[in-house]
Structure 1
């Protein structure tokens, strides 16, 4: 049997994320947002456990069951291959209600040449091609579900610090960005793709 959820490294390596700032801070609003997100045609979910293969557990809807943790599923990627994926949300009061949908790099790396990312190895090629393909796909997902979610902001990138990104946006759009930004404006969208593709962490050579 092809292992998806239970592969040793499936959920490792950190997350490449689509993060949405929701228009309202409520559990009902978040559940509706989750249901809309997981209804996207390239996604199969949700499942409650990542230690059991999807074929061996029931598929559930965020509208039908209470779950304050993560929701898990399978994503069919732009190249036709699959990756495990997941989502969660949090209400941060004055800082807003945020929904995060993610692709673990351990699983994404079976479909794209993720290699050592987010670590910077000078001998490896730039991650820009696969980042652009995945980021564009996540942008398309966000645009597709916008009529139902009416999110305020979408941020795409590795392990997104949405508080920091939102704070910087108060000063304007940064000219150099680790993340891509999708900003709704009168039912249109302004897209700011990331400008920095060099992996954020340097792996130092260990001295013997």
Structure 2
């Protein structure tokens, strides 16, 4: 039986990522660390590992830190999906440097979602799951309560597809992805609607 939580099964890590991508803002290690800690906790991820080719019990845990992200490129573990099934997950930082914003992405690979039986597509030419969207929005909302951020976007490989400055404080009326848009201290969720 396929196991979406197996690290060694490289097909679990395949076919792209369904993600909650958080625009942190200008490069700031302390802010990325605050959001990473809040995100890992909000998603109820129990461990933190640097390698995808060894099971968690076959490797030493990595600290859940910006330094570990820099060392390994991705941090990985297992996450309980909204269906209750355990699956592999990961987190990656995309650093903007002097020219742009930093992003922190929590993702579940589509290969693992397939094996977990998460329903998607709905006759669309790309991955979309309302169940996953709402679940990731709840994780983003809980993260924001602990560490504020500029913008969150939810969907298939959405990191950097827009930014807070382009949003001008407003959710688009037609949305092909989900948005978590702060307005003051309140975070608004605009679910995908097209």
> What TM-score do you get using the length of structure 2 for normalisation?
0.83
Provide the residue aligned with 1:96 in structure 2.
101
Match for residue 111 of structure 2 among 75, 81, 106: 106
Q: Given the superposition, is the C-alpha separation of residues 104 and 117 from structure 1 closer, same or farther in structure 2, using an over 3 Å criterion? A: farther
**What does residue 36 of structure 2 align with?**
34
- CA-to-partner distance for each residue in 1:29-61, whole Å, 9 max, x for gaps? 223322222123532321000000012112232
Query: Does the Cα contact within 8 Å between 1:168 and 1:174 map onto a contact in 2?
Result: no
Indicate how the Cα distance of structure 1 residues 116 and 156 shifts in structure 2: closer, same or farther if over 3 A, else same. Answer: closer
Across the two proteins, how many residue pairs are aligned to each other? 189
Distance 1:44 1:142 in 2: 17
Q: Over aligned residue pairs, what C-alpha RMSD do you find? A: 2.9
Aligned to 1:154: 152
Task: Please name the residue that 2:60 is paired with.
Answer: 58
* Structure with the higher fraction of residues in helix conformation: 2
| Structure whose CA Rg is larger | 1
Q: Which residue of 2 aligns with 1:120?
A: 125
TM-score, L = length of structure 1: 0.78
Unaligned runs of 5+ in 1: 122-126, 197-208
Q: Rate the CA distance shift 1:118–1:52 in 2: closer, same or farther, 3 A.
A: farther
Distance 1:64 1:16, change over 3 A: closer
**Is the partner of 1:10 in helix, strand or coil?**
helix
Name stretches of at least 5 consecutive residues in structure 2 with no aligned partner.
Answer: none
